[in-house]
Structure 1
Amino acid sequence: MAEHVILFAGPMGAGKSTAIRSLSEIEVVATEAGNSDRESVDKPTTTVALDYGEITLGDDEKVRLYGIPGQRRFDFMWEILKDRAVGMVLLINNDSPDPLLQLREFLDYFADLYSRGGIVVAVTRSDIARTPKLAEYSAAIAAHTPDMIIPVFSVDARNTEQMRTTLITLILNVETRAAIIGAETLKND
């Protein structure tokens, strides 16, 4: 059985824990604590170490879903989990004060994940804030990291089908890139 480790990253309140809960076939392991930064995001709890879930795609692919804390003060967990991952779903909440800045910051921090696997951007809360539009996210990616081709989706993290489409797109991206790299390696040998 093929296995993939996928990271769910993004700022606090973007929907990482919710996305994993909507996808996981097992009970999600969560490390929630009281949110001491209610000025930034008004929610009662926040992830302080990780969220963990699993989903099986088809008959032979298990995907391990790891959600990382959104706050930089827990970035030691980012490093620990990033090393195992082959891809990342980057969730950005459209109603944050500067979602395009957050997008660029996360892409910079996790650029190595793109080079060894893939990244998909999932924009949440577009029903609350209509801008920026998806085209603006794509333009920001192209301007900031022109060597990266990253799909951008508008999602409701509670919607299993939307999150499944996002995840499958990422897995296909990772597998396609791995096949291309493998073919190039064989050709050069």
Structure 2
Amino acid sequence: MASIYKLVFAGPVGAGKTTAIQSLSDIEVVRTEANASDDVKTLKKTTTVAMDYGLMKLASGDQVRLYGTPGQKRFDFMWDILTENALGLVLMLRGNSPDPVADLRTYVTEFRDFIDRTSLVVGITHSDQGGWQTRQMVSRELVAMGLPPTAMDTDARSRAHMATLVKALIYGIDPFNNAEE
């Protein structure tokens, strides 16, 4: 019997969540995009307002459902819904953000209960513009927050990059977390 797994992608607007899911998905991605109507329109024309959904079909017959959260705080009601029964969180950050460490703190704080029950990996996009120092700063901050420094530069457009990120997340899952006493 094939198993079905669920992963969640979160992060600020423009970090590459939708693109990452498109890179990994073996089906046409279901997207809930709307025209950006606030300061987001300076970053991009449209934004996710509910979720993105894709599906990876593994050689074993297992499936991994991929859910992308909206990046804007005003849609945070979707965050709890989408993380329910998920294995872990892929946090996408923009390396060229004015303050990627502040972005990290914001999303780790918002998702902390979920992260503590599951696993976290951080993918840093636009790292060519942010420099290698961004990954170093993010990794140090993860350690300061009591989390493994699992952060890597990634290209959300690359299936291979995103598969490596997902593998890192899965390798970080503690099989004894939430085990019966």
Aligned partners of 1:156 and 1:93: how far apart in 2?
11
Aligned partners of 1:50 and 1:41: how far apart in 2?
21
Aligned partners of 2:132 and 2:38: how far apart in 1?
25
- The alpha-carbon distance between structure 1 residues 25 and 70, as it changes in their structure 2 partners (threshold 3 A), is same
Identify the residue that residue 156 of structure 2 maps to in structure 1.
Answer: 157
Aligned partners of 1:128 and 1:46: how far apart in 2?
22
Find out whether 1:138 has 2:132 as its counterpart. Answer: no
Q: String of CA shifts for 1:126-180, please: whole Å, max 9, x gaps.
A: 112216431211101111x12x224111001001100001012212322xx12x3
Aligned partners of 1:26 and 1:121: how far apart in 2?
24
Q: CA deviation at 1:84?
A: 3.0
- The alpha-carbon distance between structure 1 residues 50 and 39, as it changes in their structure 2 partners (threshold 3 A), is closer
- TM-score using structure 2 length: 0.92
Q: Which runs of 5+ in 2 are unaligned?
A: none
Equivalence map 1:25-36=2 (5 Å)? 25-36=26-37
Contact kept in structure 2, 1:124 and 1:157, CA below 8 Å: yes
- The alpha-carbon distance between structure 1 residues 124 and 41, as it changes in their structure 2 partners (threshold 3 A), is farther
Aligned partners of 2:41 and 2:34: how far apart in 1?
16
Identify the residue that residue 170 of structure 2 maps to in structure 1.
Answer: 171
Equivalence map 1:8-27=2 (5 Å)? 8-27=9-28
Identify the residue that residue 100 of structure 2 maps to in structure 1.
Answer: 99
Equivalence map 1:28-67=2 (5 Å)? 28-38=29-39, 41-67=42-68
Aligned partners of 1:63 and 1:161: how far apart in 2?
16
Q: CA deviation at 1:41?
A: 4.4
Identify the residue that residue 112 of structure 1 maps to in structure 2.
Answer: 113
Aligned partners of 2:64 and 2:148: how far apart in 1?
22
The aligned amino acid for 2:114 is: L
Aligned partners of 1:131 and 1:151: how far apart in 2?
14
Q: CA deviation at 1:2?
A: 2.0
- TM-score using structure 1 length: 0.88
Other structure's SS at 1:112 match: helix
Contact kept in structure 2, 1:92 and 1:122, CA below 8 Å: yes
Equivalence map 1:67-86=2 (5 Å)? 67-86=68-87
Aligned Cα RMSD in Å? 1.8
How many pairs align? 180
Other structure's SS at 1:101 match: helix
The aligned amino acid for 1:61 is: D
Q: Which runs of 5+ in 1 are unaligned?
A: none
- The alpha-carbon distance between structure 1 residues 37 and 56, as it changes in their structure 2 partners (threshold 3 A), is same
Aligned partners of 1:131 and 1:154: how far apart in 2?
8
Percent of aligned pairs sharing the same letter: 42
